[in-house]
Amino acid sequence: MLPWRPFHPYRGIVTMDRYAVTAGIPVSVYFVDGCCIEARRAEMTAIGLDGLREAVAEKYHPVMRALSDEIRTTCRLLRELTDRIQVHIDRLPDVLNYLNVFLGCLARSLLDIAKFYDNKTLSRETRWRKMYHDMSAEGNIPLPQRFLMYNHFLGLLIQLITRSPHFDINTLDAIHDRINKLREERGIPPPPVPVGPAVNPQALMQVARRERTDHWATEIFSRPLPSRTALSGKPRASIPHGPFVNPGEVMRIPSDSKELFRRLFDNNNLTVSVYLNPFNKTPFMVVSHYQHGQSLFSTKGIHELCIKRSNGRLVLKRWSESAQCGKPWLELAFLTWEEMVLFHCTFIALKMNSALSVNLMPEEYVLKGEKKMFRAAILDDGFNHHLTVFEDADTGAVRLHAEVSEGEMKQCPIWTAFVTHQSKSPTWLQRKRRGTVLLMDVNLYVFCKDYREEKMRQNKHGAFEIHFKKPEAAVKFKEFFDPAPPSPSTQPTELDDESDPPTPTREASLPRES
């Protein structure tokens, strides 16, 4: 018997006293479904609070807004926890006891808030004041801080599932005790029996140390963008096409898979996560789509998908055996051109380095809508690469793009860099002799573990050096960004450390990554 039973919000409100798991429903599905349902309830509760806030005096707004923000964070974390469990389904038993205590307490909090703001016998201001004071008196925790505590707890459960090296079981157990105490003060009976095993901290830390990864893809989306160029046209929605499985259903994903990155779309209603298979080191993608109070999941290997830009989205297609043709699997709508570029380059690099990939379609290498404004051969960290300057036709944004110039990895992205307003500075680009150009302020996004950016910054300014194979290419490159020669007063005075371009010391094409 469990003290919490999930229910669909549209089926009516129930009390949170004692409920038994429905016969025939696995415990895993029961709790994963519960996370989805409480995420939906949190989302609707935050919307209800927003409506109440609009009708009360402005002096109450800061606290009400803080509470709504924390409840929305609760919604997001519950969905993320569901996503993580779906990948690491064999680790679900580690969090069952914690969820057994937490979900009932959270559901009661959300139901109580809804009961207060729906009480039409009181004025709207009185509803808020009574809600805040009555619920803050429970456990002597101010209402926004209660949800801050809930969110800290959920964050720790996510770390537990993912075996994060930052996981602290002492903090988790301390918050668990506080939630148990809050349940007791509110009259919610404790769980009669454990539903999962006790957590072994030492075993968790051993797994966390083993699962650390230094894959280049983990860095791509963890850095702030140097610029944010909005895509033209009306905001678009992402479209997942599936096929899907329900939460808790087996997707045949190795549990020890390492996450490379995770991206959120459409107000957190769609999540795209890319993992590395621990056995053959090949990447695969997991999509979680949240709709009507339920999360739906779909997964494909990167090598099974093709990518292209269409109508402001990146469209990923899969092969349909029944139709014997490609069908859309996922259409991703991005807010900025930079995010679209990074996703496209990351996808191409991962696919080309996957041991399961056969070949890429020619159109996959091209981000439709970009124009080649300049192209030349360069010597880049001992490799033969091609450097291209792309300009996006819709936004006018410009970027630099280096790729492998020959061999089996030809056209594989090596790095890209966005040209920002810094390029307007007269000191941003300086040409040296022997076909060398220095860029004083440029941030590279690198798509290869063997590329060493620091080798191209070995000058006293820390500027990024581009070594063109032909000196005239350096002249044309500079003319593209600075068609008018600068006046003598703007010439830099300290850029006098000359260095010869390096001789290639490694193969022209990068090796496959393991």
Within 10 Å of residue 174's Cβ, how many Cβ atoms? 12
Within 10 Å of residue 207's Cβ, how many Cβ atoms? 12
pLDDT given for residue 494 in this prediction = 38
Residues 338 and 374 in one domain: no
Q: Which residues does residue 377 pair with via DSSP β-bridges, in sequence order?
A: 386
Residue 224 lies in a domain: yes
Residue 292, pLDDT above cutoff 80 = no
Residues 315 and 332 in one domain: yes
pLDDT given for residue 247 in this prediction = 64
Residue 512 lies in a domain: no
Cα–Cα–Cα angle for 354, 305, 83, nearest 5°? 90
pLDDT given for residue 114 in this prediction = 95
Instruction: State how many domains the chain has.
Output: 3
Quick check: pTM over 0.75? yes
Residue 509, pLDDT above cutoff 70 = no
Q: d(Cα 328, Cα 320) in Å, to the nearest integer?
A: 9
Per the structure block, which two tokens stand in for 346? 């990351």
pLDDT given for residue 113 in this prediction = 96
pLDDT digits (tens, 9 = 90+) for 324-382: 888 999 999 999 999 999 999 999 999 999 999 988 999 999 999 999 999 999 999 99
Residue 398 lies in a domain: yes
Residue 231: CB partners within 8 Å, gap ≥ 6? 312, 334, 335, 336, 337, 340, 394, 395
Residues 219 and 204 in one domain: no
pLDDT digits (tens, 9 = 90+) for 333-343: 999 999 999 99
More reliable by pLDDT, 238 or 482:
238
Residues 306 and 436 in one domain: no
Residue 7 lies in a domain: no
Query: Which of 33, 87, 91 shows the shortest CA–CA distance to 285?
Result: 87
Question: Does residue 243 have a cis peptide bond before it, meaning omega lies within 30 degrees of 0?
Answer: yes
Residues 302 and 195 in one domain: no
| Average pLDDT rounded to a whole number, residues 179-191 | 88
Distance from the Cα of residue 38 to its chain's centroid: 22
Cα–Cα–Cα angle for 98, 102, 107, nearest 5°? 155
- In order of 6, 33, 74, 121, 197, the CA distances from 115 in angstroms are 18, 23, 19, 11, 36
pLDDT digits (tens, 9 = 90+) for 129-140: 999 999 999 988
Query: Which of 226, 229, 228 shows the shortest CA–CA distance to 428?
Result: 226
- Phi, psi (deg, nearest 5) at residue 237: -105, 145
| Average pLDDT rounded to a whole number, residues 109-129 | 94
More reliable by pLDDT, 500 or 322:
322
Distance from the Cα of residue 492 to its chain's centroid: 41
Amino acid identity, residue 473? Answer: A
What percentage of the chain reaches a pLDDT higher than 90? 58
Longest alpha-carbon distance in the chain: 84
Residues 207 and 247 in one domain: no
Residues 359 and 375 in one domain: no
| Average pLDDT rounded to a whole number, residues 237-265 | 83
Residue 95, pLDDT above cutoff 80 = yes
Domain endpoint, select from 212, 234, 266: 212
What percentage of the chain reaches a pLDDT higher than 70? 82
pLDDT given for residue 223 in this prediction = 87
pLDDT digits (tens, 9 = 90+) for 124-177: 999 999 999 999 999 889 999 999 999 999 999 999 998 888 888 889 999 999
Residue 240, pLDDT above cutoff 90 = yes
pLDDT digits (tens, 9 = 90+) for 433-453: 788 999 988 999 999 999 999
Domain endpoint, select from 345, 368, 391: 368
pLDDT band at 253 (very low <50, low <70, confident <90, very high): confident
With beta carbons less than 8 A apart as the criterion, state whether 78 and 35 touch: yes
Residue 273: CB partners within 8 Å, gap ≥ 6? 83, 87, 259, 261, 262, 263, 285, 286, 287, 288
Q: d(Cα 345, Cα 218) in Å, to the nearest integer?
A: 14
pLDDT band at 198 (very low <50, low <70, confident <90, very high): low
Residues 197 and 295 in one domain: no
More reliable by pLDDT, 314 or 256:
314
Residue 387 lies in a domain: yes
pLDDT given for residue 434 in this prediction = 80
More reliable by pLDDT, 511 or 427:
427
Residue 393, pLDDT above cutoff 90 = yes
Q: How buried is residue 234: exposed, middle or buried, by Cβ count under 10 Å (0-12/13-18/19+)?
A: exposed
Domain endpoint, select from 212, 235, 251: 212
Q: Residue 459 is part of which domain span?
A: 369-483
Residues 203 and 281 in one domain: no
Residue 194: CB partners within 8 Å, gap ≥ 6? 97, 100
Residues 217 and 185 in one domain: no
Residue 513 lies in a domain: no
Strand segments, DSSP code E, in 325-421 are: 325-333, 370-380, 383-392, 398-404, 413-419
Q: Which residues does residue 429 pair with via DSSP β-bridges, in sequence order?
A: 439
Residue 1, pLDDT above cutoff 80 = no
pLDDT band at 92 (very low <50, low <70, confident <90, very high): confident
Q: d(Cα 486, Cα 484) in Å, to the nearest integer?
A: 6
Place of tokens 């229910």: 7
- Which CATH number fits the domain that encloses residue 464? 2.30.29
Residue 291 lies in a domain: yes
Q: d(Cα 328, Cα 95) in Å, to the nearest integer?
A: 35
Amino acid identity, residue 499? Answer: S
pLDDT given for residue 50 in this prediction = 95
Residues 394 and 430 in one domain: yes
pLDDT band at 490 (very low <50, low <70, confident <90, very high): very low
pLDDT band at 252 (very low <50, low <70, confident <90, very high): confident
Residue 507: CB partners within 8 Å, gap ≥ 6? 383, 407
Residue 473, pLDDT above cutoff 90 = yes
86-121 b/e (C-beta count within 10 Å ≥ 16 → b)? bbbbebbebbbbbbbbbbbbbbbbbbbbbebbeeee
pLDDT given for residue 74 in this prediction = 97
Q: Please, what is the average pLDDT of the chain?
A: 84
Residue 10, pLDDT above cutoff 80 = no
Q: d(Cα 172, Cα 97) in Å, to the nearest integer?
A: 12
Residue 236 lies in a domain: yes
With beta carbons less than 8 A apart as the criterion, state whether 347 and 361 touch: no
Q: d(Cα 461, Cα 51) in Å, to the nearest integer?
A: 55
Residues 363 and 436 in one domain: no
Q: What does R_g of the chain's alpha carbons equal in angstroms?
A: 27
pLDDT given for residue 24 in this prediction = 46
pLDDT band at 202 (very low <50, low <70, confident <90, very high): low
